[in-house]
Amino acid sequence: MKLVPLRLHRTAIAVGLALALSYVGFCRPQIQAAEPLKVLLITGGCCHDYQFQTDTLKTAFQEHKVDVQWTVVNEGGSGTEAEIARYDNPDWAKGYDAVIHNECFANTTSPEYIRKITQAHEAGVNAVVIHCAMHTYRASKIDDWRELLGVTSRRHEHQSNYPVKVVQRDHPIMEGFPSDWVTPKDELYVIETMWPKAVPLATSISETTGESHPCFWTNEYGKARVFGTTYGHSNETFADKTFQRALVRGTLWAAGRLK
């Protein structure tokens, strides 16, 4: 039997111990608590129950275990024309991961006012645009807001229960979205134009013309990521769990939190 010098034993033990510690360190989960999602919600205007929609939106994020720090701006009354004072501050969206636009001011037309909003998004403020945001500023002669949205729409069809067809099944926003989802009573928005960087995620068919219209999509606007949906007219739609899940995942995607 060949004896191994004691110093070799000590070396082997040291090497083994180092490897063991290295292995333990490698296997230990590197857990970092995610920072709360900072969301600015701009809402108000005509035609919808914005308080209900706001409360329901907050509850949806809670139910999906997403920690959100909310700032809610509900101004402008219930008409179709308003200019929100917050936009007078050049840093109106500074520090937010995403801005959710759920307002409805169709007849506000000032190019200077609209560009206070769009320039911030173009510089990198991510956005989620819901329902009547598509008809907000529709009377304006400039296209800046429509380019931010990713779609041009100026009218909607009658309320009905519209089947939704997913056309980008592999997109992370649509993960788990049912193939047979039908909206609660809601309006189908007529999409005249999809802007070049917009990508449809799901569509619905007009009961009047048989034409297919995007109802969920993504867009790129400057440095910003944008998620949009034309649905969200009724309280029943906002209360729908499938719709809520799409809004949560769409917001996380826009904010860069959804892989």
How do the domains of the chain map onto residue ranges? Answer: 37-254
Structure letter (DSSP) for residue 221: E
Is the predicted pLDDT of residue 19 greater than 90, yes or no? no
The C-alpha atoms of residue 100 and residue 172 are separated, in whole angstroms, by: 19
Is the predicted pLDDT of residue 21 greater than 60, yes or no? no
Which residue did the predictor score with more confidence, 28 or 124? 124
Residue 259 confidence class, pLDDT cut points 50, 70, 90: confident
Here the tokens at position 57 are 């939106």
Say if CB 82 and CB 110 are below 8 A apart. no
The secondary structure element, H or E, covering residue 7 is: helix 6-27
Residue 34 confidence class, pLDDT cut points 50, 70, 90: confident
Q: Does this model's pTM top 0.75?
A: yes
Which CATH fold topology does 37-254 show? Rossmann fold (3.40.50)
**3-state secondary structure (DSSP) of residue 249:** helix
The C-alpha atoms of residue 68 and residue 38 are separated, in whole angstroms, by: 6
The C-alpha atoms of residue 207 and residue 157 are separated, in whole angstroms, by: 9
Cα separation values, 194 from 72, 100, 147, 168, 181, Å: 29, 20, 9, 16, 23
CA dihedral 247→248→251→257, nearest 10 degrees, is -150
